[in-house]
Amino acid sequence: MSILAIVAAVAASSAALAYLAVGDAKRRRVFGLPPLERKAWQTWLAIAGVLAPAVFLLYGGGGAGFVVWCGAVSVAGWALAATPPAQAAAMGRRVTGGMAAAGRILRTMIRAARGTEDTDDRLDRLERRVAALEAALAHHEPAAKPTAPRRRNGAGGKTEMPQPSGQ
Amino acid sequence: MKSLSQSQLKRLTAVHGWSGTVLGLLLYAVVATGTVAVFAHEIAEWSVGGAKNHAPLAGGLDGKIRPIAERMTKGYLEEIAVWATAKGDLNVFPHAHARNPDSGKIDNYGTLFRLDGTTGAELARNEGFVFTKPEWFEASALEDFLVDLHVQLYVPQPWGLILTGILGLSMMAAGVTGFLMHRHLIRDLFVAARPGHRLVTARDRHVLAASWGLLFAFLLGFTGSFFSFAGTVSLPLISQVAFGGDQKAMRETLFEPAVTPDPRPAALTDLDAVVARSTALAGAPVRFIVVDHYGRADARINLWHMPPQGSLAWVRNVFDGTDGRFLGVKPRVGRQPSAGSALYELIWPLHTGDFAGTLSKAVWVGLGTAMCYVILSGMQLWVRRREDTALWRGFGRAVTTTAYGLPFAMTAAAYGFFLSLPAADPFYWTPMGFVLGALACIAAGVFAGDGDRLAQRFRRLLGAACVVLPVVRMAMGGLGWADAVVQGQGAVLSFDLMFLVLGVLLFRWATRQPHGRAAGGPLPEPAE
């Protein structure tokens, strides 16, 4: 059993533990949070999600991975449970933000490697260009009427162009 | 779980609390040093500036060992032990067994050669009861000290081992009584410490960490006691009961392969070929080699391997010393595989976490840290319930002083080691550094500030000690970071960075506002 498989199993179990912690009724009551409406099967599924990686490790390649998993999940479970909900939420936001940023960087890198850009990129570039032109126009004609706000329509990213400014 | 009556609960609380109070500080010392000792080998590598050769046992042994064996007298050829030091040197130890007049026990007596792991050049040579002189066979005084501190709290044998054995039992007892006392183990499994600084908050912290660490508290306590009592109580008892006090006969029956004595002279087979074959069979590197009866027809070559991937137990392969035949895998105890032997084989990996490389060791450090937290938070909870008494407030200061003083003293031991390296004896100054660090912390605990301010001062002190340590290491001639990267000395770089990060985190922790209760704050209250 490779180290990577053990790490993945611990990560999967920790994610399921985090799910259980977030919805734990007593934890939410103690910290004055409204109860989360969860079905029993969802909780049981999460419990299965905690234990399934251990079964995989146990039958997949000897006892070492399983014992490491037991130890790691004990420590991870404690760390997850000991983090108060507000702090956990703040950490969650930071992690989500970090992952989103990492995703953006990754996308940019992939596009740079491919030497291509997608529709969103072109639209973003176009919008920036239009904004720059508007700013320049506003600079030259300070009395001009304000333009209608631009907005995107739907996922297709179709952009309404600004209306002529009343000349 | 069956609910207990009030009187039963009261008795259990008394057993749990008083055993923790009486032995808690010593138990913390054993667990904290054990947590550090998990990385003992890596600490040794870091302290000596990395290993010159990471696999001196992998090949080229025959040409190094045979010339030594050929010039030894027959008496010393009863066993030749070969192992690598943290520096990457080779220790070759032809020896016999003799009664040590100092201890009255049978010990290994012989000549220990320290060889360069790559060239085989002789670096040092010492004769006597080698294992009573750590400076002869250990590369790092720091590793030796930390392990000794964990194993027997630096108390002379056998009392140190008996003490740590009792502490292991008390850890198990605390786990069992805590389990029985806590009625809502599953329901409270995700309840973080309630906000504020009430008694119930302290209780939440202790219960939560203890609940998650319960299984391993029991496991580590049991395996630790097992090792402590094995040499001091169990094996002497077995030797008396089953072998009429003949320790040699007991050792041969339990731990040695079956051999029909044949004293006829015979040349030893090619050791390198045996090492290569054994490594291929075990699928893991060799860590220790013993050649029994070198130069005789009944010679045996024993090779201990790290646990192969996916396995917990070490592997001991046995080869015929004359023709190199593989004779089989020797069970840890006895000559046939058995459940007892299989269980015995699990004790070491389960206690030390030394079975899946850095990952398992890191997890064991996490478990040890959790155990330390459980012990300290338990003692703090006990004190909080009684803090209107001056005596218990004093005990609270002792808990804070020990909590921070022990890591500081261990760091001071490292300072003692590095500062004495160029011109003095590290095997003297490492424990002395620990003693001086401990005395400084005790003095600070007695004279400096109240509980919260004291803790903050300790954090700053410990943080500063951590940050400066890598600088001192390098200033005393230790390996620089650039060289460490070039030479692939991961332990050197990792430990330096770890100390720096730890120091910064401790400083950040110390600069937080103390959270002492304001005057007129809530008084001690029941936790339930």
Estimate the crossing angle of helix A3-23 against helix B357-384, to 10 degrees: 30
**A26: nearest CA in chain B?**
B191
- Dist CA B381 CA B527 (whole Å): 9
Alpha helix positions (H), B353-489:
357-384, 390-420, 426-447, 451-475, 481-487
* Percent of chain B's residues with pLDDT above 70: 96
What residue segments make up the domains of chain A, in order of their start? Answer: 3-82
Give yes or no: residues B359 and B394 share one domain. no
Contacts of B189 in chain A (CB under 8 A): 24, 77, 81
Sheet of B300-305: strand order equals: B122-128, B106-115, B90-99, B79-84, B286-292, B300-305, B315-320, B326-329
B195 contacts A84? CB cut-off 8 A: yes
**A27: nearest CA in chain B?**
B191
A74 contacts B190? CB cut-off 8 A: no
Give yes or no: residues B237 and B375 share one domain. yes
Give yes or no: residues B406 and B364 share one domain. no
- Dist CA B276 CA B443 (whole Å): 56
Contacts of A80 in chain B (CB under 8 A): 190
Give me the number of domains chain B comprises. Answer: 3
**B360: nearest CA in chain A?**
A68
Domain final residue pick, B90, B121, B139? B139
- Dist CA B174 CA B180 (whole Å): 10
Give yes or no: residues B395 and B505 share one domain. yes
Judged by DSSP in three states, B286 sits in strand
Contacts of A68 in chain B (CB under 8 A): 356, 359-360, 363
B191 contacts A1? CB cut-off 8 A: no
**What is Dmax (Cα atoms) for chain B?**
87
- Dist CA B230 CA A60 (whole Å): 34
**A7: nearest CA in chain B?**
B359
Give yes or no: residues B131 and B149 share one domain. no
Give yes or no: residues B10 and B145 share one domain. yes
Give yes or no: residues B239 and B148 share one domain. yes
Write down the pTM of the prediction: 0.85
User: What pLDDT does residue B188 have?
Assistant: 87
Counted across chains A and B, CB pairs separated by less than 8 A come out at 103
Domain final residue pick, B96, B123, B139? B139
Long-range contacts of B249-256 (CB under 8 A, 24+ apart): B253/B334, B254/B333, B254/B334, B255/B333, B256/B292
Question: For A80-134, how does the pLDDT look when each residue is reduced to its tens digit (9 = 90+)?
Answer: 999 988 888 888 888 888 988 999 898 888 878 776 656 667 788 888 888 888 8
- Dist CA B73 CA A54 (whole Å): 55
A3 contacts B355? CB cut-off 8 A: no
β-partners of residue B128 are B110
Residue B98 has pLDDT above 50, yes or no: yes
Question: For B407-438, how does the pLDDT look when each residue is reduced to its tens digit (9 = 90+)?
Answer: 999 999 999 999 999 888 999 999 999 999 99
Give yes or no: residues B183 and B218 share one domain. yes
- Dist CA B489 CA B479 (whole Å): 9
Helices (H) and strands (E) in chain B, counts: 17, 8
Domain final residue pick, B89, B123, B139? B139
**A4: nearest CA in chain B?**
B359
A83 contacts B367? CB cut-off 8 A: no
Handedness of CA B516, B517, B518, B520 (dihedral sign): negative
Question: For B134-154, how does the pLDDT look when each residue is reduced to its tens digit (9 = 90+)?
Answer: 999 998 999 999 999 999 998
CB-based contact (8 Å) between B209 and chain A? Answer: yes
- Dist CA B376 CA A167 (whole Å): 77
Report which of residues B105 and B292 the model is more confident about: B292
- Whether B424 maps to a domain, the answer reads yes
A62: nearest CB among B205, B215, B311? B311
Give yes or no: residues B407 and B371 share one domain. no
**A71: nearest CA in chain B?**
B363
Mean pLDDT of chain B: 89
Question: For B204-230, how does the pLDDT look when each residue is reduced to its tens digit (9 = 90+)?
Answer: 899 999 999 999 999 999 999 999 999
- Whether B168 maps to a domain, the answer reads yes
DSSP conformation letters of B29-71: HHHHHHHHHTTHHHHHHHHTT--S-S-TTSS--HHHHHHHHHT
Give yes or no: residues B413 and B510 share one domain. yes
CA of B359, closest CA in chain A: separation in Å? Answer: 8
Give yes or no: residues B44 and B100 share one domain. no
DSSP conformation letters of B198-264: -HHHHHHHHHHHHHHHHHHHHHHHHHHHHHHHIIIIIHHHHHHHHHTT-HHHHHHHHHS-------S
Residue B282 has pLDDT above 70, yes or no: yes
- Whether B527 maps to a domain, the answer reads no
Q: Are strands B90-99 and A158-159 parallel, antiparallel or unpaired?
A: unpaired
B310: nearest CB among A21, A31, A64? A64
B212: nearest CB among A65, A67, A81? A81
- Dist CA B349 CA A63 (whole Å): 11
List the domain range (segments joined by +) for residue B245. Answer: 1-48+140-253+347-385
B516 band by pLDDT with thresholds 50, 70 and 90 = very low
**What is Dmax (Cα atoms) for chain A?**
79
- Whether B336 maps to a domain, the answer reads no
Contacts of A1 in chain B (CB under 8 A): 309-310
The interface predicted TM-score of the complex, written ipTM, equals 0.88
Residues B475-500 as b or e (16 or more Cβ within 10 Å = b): ebebbeeeebeeeebbbbbbbbeebb
Residues 12-51 on B with a CB inside 8 Å of A are none
Contacts of A89 in chain B (CB under 8 A): none
